[in-house]
Structure 1
Amino acid sequence: MKHPVDVHVGKRVRHRRWMVGMTQQQLAEQVGIKFQQIQKYETGMNRISASRLWDIADALDVPVSFFFEGLSGKVEAEGGAEGLPADILSDKEALELVRSYYAIPENQRRRLFELARVLSDAA
C-alpha cells in the first residue's frame, strides 16, 4: 500500500524533473540507479531512502526540503480549491504551459498574466 507521504514526495520529484527538462533515464544515471526505480519513486510505489533523496535533490539542484513542500501535518485529500487537482503540475500540459510562460520576457509575461486573469473572470 502506498503511503501518502511517499506519493507526495514522488510527485515532487517528477515535478522538479519535468521543470528542469530531465528524463527519468537522465536522473537515474546521475543518481546511479535504473530508470525503472525512478518510475517507482515518482508513483510512490517505492519509498525513497534519505541518502537517495539527498542524491536526487543534488541532481535536481534543490534542497531536500523541496520534496516536502505543500505537505501538511495531515494527509490532504485529492482535489484542491476551485475544482483544480491537488497537484496541478502533475499534468504535462499544465507543466508545459508554465515552462512556456516563464520563457516569455518579463514585461510581456505580466501582460499575458493580466489577459489570462481578465479572461478567467469573464468565463
Structure 2
Amino acid sequence: MPSDDNLERTAREPRPSPIDVHVGTRVRLRRTLLGMSQEKLGEALGLTFQQVQKYERGVNRIGASRLFDLARVLDVPIGFFFDDMPDAMGGSMNGVRRAMGFADSQDAFEDDTLHRRETLELVRAYYRITDPSVRKRVFDLIKSLTPPD
C-alpha cells in the first residue's frame, strides 16, 4: 500500500504513462515525416493543435477511436504506434505482436539518429528532389563524404 507521502507526490506530479509517451512520440515522428504541422493534423481530426501537442507528449492518453483516426490520417497501420517499443514496456512480446499484425522491432530504429528532426528534414528534402538522376547524384555525394564502414 503506498504511503500518504507517495499519494501526495503522485497527485502533485502526475506523470504520463511510458506507453502513452511512446505512442505520442510515434505520432510526432509520422506527422513530421509527412511534413504536416500540428495545426493541420488537428484540423483533420477536429482538434486544436494544443490537443495534438498533448497527445504527442503523452500527457493526454489516446483512446482507441482516436488512434484509429490518427492511423487513417497519418496513413499508417495502428501497429505503427507500438513499433519499436522498449522491452520494458512490452516490446519483447514480438511473437504476440506478430500474431496481432504488428511489425517486428528492428534494431536500426532503436538508434535515436532516425528520430532527430534534422534527419527527418533531410529525408523529406531528399524525396522532394523530383529528378531521379539529381537525387542519385545527391545520394552519391553524401555517401562520398562519409567515412568508410
Residue in 2 aligned with 1:89?
Answer: 115
Deviation (angstroms), 1:41: 0.7
Query: Which protein has the larger Cα radius of gyration, Structure 1 or Structure 2?
Result: 2
Using the TM superposition, give the Cα deviation of residue 87 of structure 1 relative to its aligned residue in structure 2, in angstroms: 5.7
CA change 1:68–1:119 in 2 (3 A) is same
TM norm structure 1: 0.76
1:56 is aligned, of 35, 45, 70, to: 70
Report the alpha carbon displacement of residue 19 of structure 1 after superposing the two structures with TM. Answer: 2.0
Decide whether the 8 Å contact of 1:11 with 1:90 is kept in 2.
no
**Distance between the aligned counterparts of 2:51 and 2:143, measured in 1?**
40
TM-score of the two chains, using structure 2 as the length reference: 0.64
Q: Hey, what does 1:112 align to over in structure 2?
A: 138
For structure 1, which runs of at least 5 residues remain unmatched after alignment? none
Identify the match of residue 54 of structure 2 among 26, 40, 47.
40
Q: CA deviation at 1:64?
A: 0.9
User: Within the alignment, does 1:101 sit opposite 2:126 as a pair?
Assistant: yes
Counterpart position of 2:23: 9
Aligned partner letter, 2:140: E
RMSD: 2.6
Higher relative contact order structure (alpha carbons within 8 Å, sequence separation ≥ 6): 1
Give the equivalent residue in structure 2 for 1:31. 45
Cα distance in 1, alignment partners of residues 147 and 53 from structure 2:
38
Equivalent pair of 2:113/2:119 in contact (CA under 8 Å): no
Residue 36 of structure 1: how far off its partner (Å)? 1.0
- Structure 2 residue ranges without an equivalent (≥5): 1-14, 92-106
What are the superposed Cα offsets for residues 2-44 of structure 1, whole Å, 9 maximum, x if unpaired?
A: 2222222111111211222222122112212222110001111
Contact 1:6 1:47 in 2 (8 A): yes
Instruction: Look up the equivalent residue of 1:103 and give its one-letter code.
Output: R
Deviation string, structure 1 residues 27-82 (Cα, Å, up to 9, x no partner)? 11221222211000111112111111111111112111111222243359xxx98x
Question: Structure 1 residues 25, 111: closer, same or farther in 2, change over 3 A?
Answer: same
